[in-house]
Amino acid sequence: MKIIMLGAPGAGKGTQAKMIADKYSVPHISTGDIFRANIKNGTELGMEAKKYMDQGQLVPDELTVKILLDRVANDDCKNGYVLDGFPRTIPQAEVLDEALAKLGDSIDYAIDVDVPDENIVNRMSGRRACVACGATYHIVHIPPKTEGICDRCGKELILRDDDKPETVLNRLKIYHDQTQPLIDFYTAKGILKTVDGTQDMKDVFAAITAILD
């Protein structure tokens, strides 16, 4: 079972990817995590990626796919995996498809966690993070016991720049320009499944498992 998670920043696709990975005993593969692991372990691919990252450039699609294929060749991926954060663009999806096809493989499902922009802005601007220990809260869904104070360490909670409405709107614009076309790409392949991401987290997960089961 090879799955790609799609959805705007803040749609909750990362949380759902982890839950899928746990339920079906397959790895949750985030491109950010595998880049960091390769760099930390000093692999040849990791060092090549680091050159681009150190210059503030995007890692080329071909190199990203090489690192990804290297990861999915591990034994823990033999029953499948959940990809989170890749592909982000049509060219990346095409490179991934070609590389998998050479291995006689393909993606089974692309799951789109669909949430309107307005909901995402409200959801993310309600997030608060602890300046000291990094614990995260939400003023509506997971409020701290004392407003503005971390339950865990008692330090101040802040609204991170990433979560400010203007930043979120900018990230959503990039998403719609670059990643939204993947919806059509995977629809044409007949593997796109859309779930309503505005529901409670457990209900979103139930909708996903109904598709996968």
Transcribe 174-193 into DSSP letters. Answer: HIIIIITHHHHHHHHTT-EE
Is 160 part of the annotated catalytic residue set? yes
From 2, 13, 71, 123, active-site residue? 13
36 catalytic, yes or no?
Answer: no
Q: Is 123 a catalytic residue?
A: no
Active-site residue (options: 18, 50, 160, 193): 160
DSSP state of 142: B
Q: Is 88 a catalytic residue?
A: yes
- Which candidate in 66, 71, 123, 127 is catalytic? 127
Active site residue 13: yes
Catalytic hit among 18, 50, 164, 171? 171
Distance separating alpha carbons of residues 83 and 27, to the nearest angstrom: 9
Q: Which amino acid is at 96?
A: L
- Inter-residue contact 176 to 120 (CB < 8 Å): no
Catalytic residue among 2, 66, 88, 123: 88
- Beta pairing partners, 83: 4, 29
Buried b (16+ CB within 10 A) or exposed e, 93-111: bebbbebbeeeeeebebbb
- For residue 159, report the phi and psi dihedrals to the nearest 5 degrees: -90, 115
**DSSP state for residue 191 in the 8-state scheme:** -
Which DSSP helix (H) or strand (E) runs through 150? none
> What phi and psi, each to the nearest 5 degrees, are found at residue 151?
-60, -35
Q: Tell me: cis bond preceding 87? Omega within 30 of 0 counts.
A: yes
Residues designated catalytic: 13, 88, 127, 160, 171
